[in-house]
Amino acid sequence: MRTLGFFGLGAMGSGMAANLSRAGFTVLGWDLSDAARTAHREKGGTIAEPSSIFGQAEAIVASLPSSDAFVRFCRETALPSCRPGLLIINTGTVSPPSIRELAEQFAGCGASLIDAPVTGGVGGAAEGNLRFFLSGQPKACDQARALLEAMGDPRFLQYCGAAGAGQVVKGVNQLAMGLINAALIESVAFGVNAGIEPGLLAELVGGDQGWRRLLRGVCEQAGAGTAGTLGVKAGQYPYFLEEAEARGFRLPITEALNRFLADKDACIQEANRMSPSYWNELVSR
C-alpha cells in the first residue's frame, strides 16, 4: 500500500500528510482551500481531484474539522466512490453512532472504515507523534498500521475495539480536558466576579503541583486578560451526549454545560472550530 488519498489539509492534516510523504507514500491530497493545496505541494504531496484520488488510492485518510463534515464527505463523496478492499481512515472526532452507521454502509460495498481519531495537536501532527485511538475491523486496522505509524507514536497506536470504540476513547480524552478546564475557569470566575483579584487567587489558592498549578495558570491568564481564549471542548459535547443517549446513560455535567453554552456566541478557535468562550460568558453576566 503506497498510494494514499488525503482529504483535509488544514492545521492537523497538513502535518500528517507531510509525514506520509516523508515516509515514502504517494499522497494525493485535496482541500477546499487554495492555500492548503499549495502548502501540500510544497511539502512533497500531489494535488488531485476527488474522483481521481478514489480511482488511484489504496487507502483514503480524512482529517476533517467536524462530525458533520466527515459524515457529509462519506455520503456525498466516499460512499458513492468506494470499491471492494478500499480503506477509509477517519482521524477526526466524530459522533460514535455516526461512525457505526457509516462502517456498516462501507462494509456493504466491500470497503472498510477505520475509526482512528487522534490527539496531540498541531505540534504532534507536524512531528509525527500523535496518539491514535484505533477501532474497526481488526484485519483492516492491521493493514493500516504502517501508514498510521508514519503519523504517530507506535507506543500509542492501540486497538480499542469495533468501529466507534476509538471515538469513545477520544471522548474520554476530550471530556477530561474540557471539563477540567471548565471547573477551573468557573472557580476563578467565581472569585473574580465576587471582587477578588486574580493575582491574589493565584497566590493563595494556586501552587506548583497538580490542580493548584492548573488553577494558577487560569488566574494568570485572567490577570493578563486572556482567560477568554481558554477552551472547554464545547463544540464536541453533542457527539458524546449522542453516544450516551444511544447507550442509555447520562452525563449530567456535560449536559448542563452544553445547555449553558448552546446559544452563546462562537468567538474562540478551539479544536479546529469556533466555540463559545466559557470565561467570557461567566464574567460578562
Query: Is 61 strand, coil or helix?
Result: strand
Active-site position among 139, 170, 233, 264: 170
Helix (H) or strand (E) holding 81: helix 79-81
* Cell, residue 249: 446513560
- Condensed to tens digits (0 to 9), the pLDDT of residues 128-151 reads 999 999 999 999 999 999 999 999
Q: Is residue 284 scored above 80 in pLDDT? A: no
- Is residue 170 part of the annotated active site? The answer reads yes
Half-sphere CA count of 262, side-chain side, radius 13 A: 8
Structural domains of the chain ordered from first start: 3-161 (3.40.50.720), 168-283 (1.10.1040)
**Mean pLDDT rounded to a whole number for the chain:** 95
- Per the CB < 8 A criterion, the answer to whether 99 and 93 are in contact is no
- Condensed to tens digits (0 to 9), the pLDDT of residues 26-84 reads 999 999 999 999 999 988 889 999 999 999 999 999 999 999 999 999 999 999 999 99
Helix (H) or strand (E) holding 267: strand 266-270
Average pLDDT value for residue range 92-110: 97
- pLDDT for the residue 269: 87
By residue count, the chain amounts to 285
* Cell, residue 81: 466512490
- Condensed to tens digits (0 to 9), the pLDDT of residues 199-248 reads 999 999 999 999 999 999 999 999 999 999 999 999 999 999 999 999 99
pTM of the model: 0.93
pLDDT level of residue 285 (50, 70, 90 thresholds):
low
* Cell, residue 93: 472526532
- Condensed to tens digits (0 to 9), the pLDDT of residues 142-184 reads 999 999 999 999 999 999 999 999 999 999 999 999 999 999 9
